[in-house]
Amino acid sequence: MNAQRIEHAMTDKGYVPLYATGTVPQPWANYTASDHAVWRTLFERQRALLVGRACETFLQAQDAMGMGAEAIPRFDDLSEQLRRVTGWELVGVEGLLPELDFFQHLSARRFPVTWWIRRPEQIDYIAEPDLFHDLFGHVPLLLNPVFADYMQAYGAGGVRAHGLGSEALANLTRLYWYTVEFGLIREHGELRIYGAGILSSAGESHHCLESSAPNRIGFDLSRLMRTRYRIDSYQKTYFVIDDFEQLFNATQQDFAPIYQVLQQADAVPAGDVLDSDLVLQRGSGEGWISDGDV
Ligand SMILES: [Fe+2]
């Protein structure tokens, strides 16, 4: 693989390289016993933790796809199933892509998945999104028709925002952050996880539901787009949707007028609660670091 790193991008774990390469076939035959063992360890641990914490849609989709602990799944197998149900497919990549490339993939119903998995000594911490985060965390919900449509609409919105400039992009990135990566959903009257950043993190799976520190606030599109976030710690605020329809419906409008309004408004610090918020739980703020919001 001749991966070419072109710049860096911010993620929940700090700055990581961006890759200029296009898509790459998954080198499945080259995975070592150690690679499969890392997948197995992470899968078993996280799956056990997520029963009763992740939304049922996610757990059922993982089962329906036959995603199990035994071995690293093959992208081709998963793509075949996704194509049949929601028209999505997976494409292998070296790592994070430049924004426009990423948006273009999503808008064409292609989800980029990092082909490599972390090393055994990185089980509990890795800076870059790897196969486990992308595949375990993101891919199952692409089997859900409404969420799948949301992801495509997000990609199309990203392509448009890219043409509008960096402020519009920052607004849109926050939407992804607080939904696709760190979103919570109400299910049977309880909070459940659907964000991949949480689903692939043992610590945050506990924190987002059980800690009294973070705020839990009802979903509001322009509020999310104004809200700064944390890349070096658990989130100070989680936004809660009622269902995936709410998420998809919010994308059925032109974001350009919203970006214009938001340009006049200050961004909201990650831990602030506004008078206009639908507050489900106000966080105690315990353990928060006062600066460093992105
Ligand atoms: Fe992600």
Quick: pLDDT tens for 186-215.
Answer: 999 999 999 999 999 999 999 999 999 999
Query: 155 alpha carbon to ligand 1 midpoint, in Å?
Result: 14
Per-residue pLDDT band for 2 (boundaries 50, 70, 90) equals: very low
Query: 246 alpha carbon to ligand 1 midpoint, in Å?
Result: 21
Domain membership of residue 119 as a residue range: 5-281
What was the pLDDT predicted at 155?
Answer: 96
HSE-CB at 132 with a 13 A cutoff on CA atoms is 31
Per-residue pLDDT band for 154 (boundaries 50, 70, 90) equals: very high
Q: Locate tokens 């987002």: which residue?
A: 208
Q: Is the pTM of this model over 0.85?
A: yes
Helices (H) and strands (E) in the chain — how many of each?
Answer: 12, 9
Query: 108 alpha carbon to ligand 1 midpoint, in Å?
Result: 18
Total tally of structural domains belonging to the chain:
1
Sheet holding 190-193, edge to edge: 190-193, 184-187, 237-241, 215-218, 279-281
93: tokens are 């990549």
Query: 196 alpha carbon to ligand 1 midpoint, in Å?
Result: 6
pLDDT at 1 over 50: no
Query: 178 alpha carbon to ligand 1 midpoint, in Å?
Result: 11
Query: 138 alpha carbon to ligand 1 midpoint, in Å?
Result: 7
Q: Is 293 within the bounds of a domain?
A: no
Per-residue pLDDT band for 15 (boundaries 50, 70, 90) equals: low
E strand or H helix at 190: strand 190-193
Query: 279 alpha carbon to ligand 1 midpoint, in Å?
Result: 26
Query: 113 alpha carbon to ligand 1 midpoint, in Å?
Result: 9
What was the pLDDT predicted at 6?
Answer: 55
Q: Is 20 within the bounds of a domain?
A: yes
Query: 18 alpha carbon to ligand 1 midpoint, in Å?
Result: 14
Q: Is 288 within the bounds of a domain?
A: no
Q: Is 294 within the bounds of a domain?
A: no
pLDDT at 13 over 60: no
Q: Is 252 within the bounds of a domain?
A: yes
